Amino acid sequence: MSPIQGLRPEKLRELVLLILIALVLIVFSSVIENYLNARLFNRVSASVALMAVLAIGQTMVVLTRNIDLSVGSIVGFTAYFVGHQLSQYGDMHPMLAIFLAVGVGTLMGGINGILVAYCRIPSIIVTLGTMALYRTLLVEYSDAQTVLTVNLPRWLLDLPSLNLISFDRLHLRVLVVGMIVVVVLFQIVLKYTSFGRKLYAIGSNPEAAKMAGFANQRMVLTAFLLCGALAGLTGFMFLARFGNITVVAGIGFELKSVAAVVVGGVNIFGGSGSAFGAFLGAVLIDLLENSLIRWLQISEFWRDALLGLLILISVATDSVIMKRFQLYWARKQARSSPET
């Protein structure tokens, strides 16, 4: 038996992503001078920290056959809201500030969840609505004022450049470590808890899950709550990293998070994917973006198009290969265990 036959499709997907990331690194290091260095790691890790956390929230929702398009607005609103509070109450405890961000995010996610799970409105409609709603709330709340770095407490401004461990010029930032904790935590929850397995069950076959007695509605609501909570956490990280917060904060994050999730192998029709996969998807996209900017030969106007094309290719090739492999894997299983 070759080693590849021992892999489950999800594992294979993650392996393919790792190979793709290595390929990107090799290709660009041959065309960009001074590419592979500690700086690249610092840049990409600091930037992925935000998107990976958001993508994992999105994963929760996508696993249940839903989508959350309001996460960008939640990030923007929490970043502004917490920033505004911190400008007024500078002595607020850091943990309280994080708690506040997560709390506001959870609340907003909860509104999405209730509308989707209990009012039975399609999630794309609900979250398209709340995307505009939360953004408008931010515009009203902000009263056209900017959250300014000068008014923020020192600890928050120092947070993005705070290193937990440094090897020479390679820095492992605190925000990055926070992101890794989130990835590991959710990987474990999805894989080893009954909650996680039920999420997959609901996504792959909602009818069957219902017959099996799963509380589908409550599960969907929980997925949205978690997604909102992680979007709130991302909002806090956003505030720490960018300091000056205006009403445009987080615009476009919803699509980037969906892109990371899809590239990361989470099935948009629910039921399969992993937190680690979504993380790898976020890394691949960020790495491509970062590298394309530095690639001299390419103009700004082509960069976005090329990025879109690369995402499309990666998803398309992957889905073709995966389909073949899944078919093969299913046949193999059927043959090896004829009694089931």
Residues near other proteins (CB under 8 A) are 34, 39-40, 43, 47, 50, 72-73, 131-132, 135-136, 138-139, 142, 144-146, 148-150, 160-161, 238, 241-252, 289-290, 293-294, 296, 300-301
Q: Which is nearer to other proteins, 55 or 220 (CB)?
A: 55
Q: Give least dist CB 322 to other proteins, A.
A: 31
Q: Which is nearer to other proteins, 19 or 124 (CB)?
A: 124
CB-based contact 59:262 (threshold 8 Å) = no
In whole angstroms, the minimum distance from the beta carbon of 251 to other proteins comes to: 5
Long-range contacts of 290-295, Cβ-Cβ distance < 8 Å, separation of 24 or more: 290/40, 290/43, 290/44, 290/47, 291/24, 291/28, 291/32, 291/35, 294/28, 294/32, 294/35, 295/28, 295/31, 295/32
How buried is 50 (Cβ within 10 angstroms: 0-12 exposed, 13-18 middle, 19+ buried)?
buried
**Residue the block writes with tokens 């930032």:** 173
Shortest Cβ 173–other proteins spacing (Å): 10
What's the CA dihedral at 224, 225, 231, 236 to 10 degrees? 170
How far apart are CB 37 and other proteins at their closest, in Å?
A: 9
Residue 308 or 320 having the CB closest to other proteins: 308
Kindly state the smallest distance separating residue 247's Cβ from other proteins, in Å.
Answer: 3
Instruction: Give the number of other CB atoms < 10 A from CB of residue 197.
Output: 13
Shortest spacing between CB 189 and other proteins, in angstroms: 28
Torsion of CA 52, 54, 60, 63, to 10 degrees: -70
Please say which residue, 16 or 282, places its beta carbon nearer to other proteins.
Answer: 282
Q: Which is nearer to other proteins, 2 or 297 (CB)?
A: 297
Instruction: Classify burial at 241, counting beta carbons within 10 Å of its beta carbon; exposed 0-12, middle 13-18, buried 19 or more.
Output: middle
Report the residue number, 137 or 315, with the smaller CB distance to other proteins.
Answer: 137
Nearer to other proteins by Cβ, of 95 and 144: the residue is 144
Task: Give the 3-state secondary structure of residue 245.
Answer: strand
Cβ 293 to other proteins shortest distance, Å = 4
C-alpha to C-alpha distance for 91 and 160, rounded to whole angstroms: 19
* Residue matched to tokens 């990976």: 52
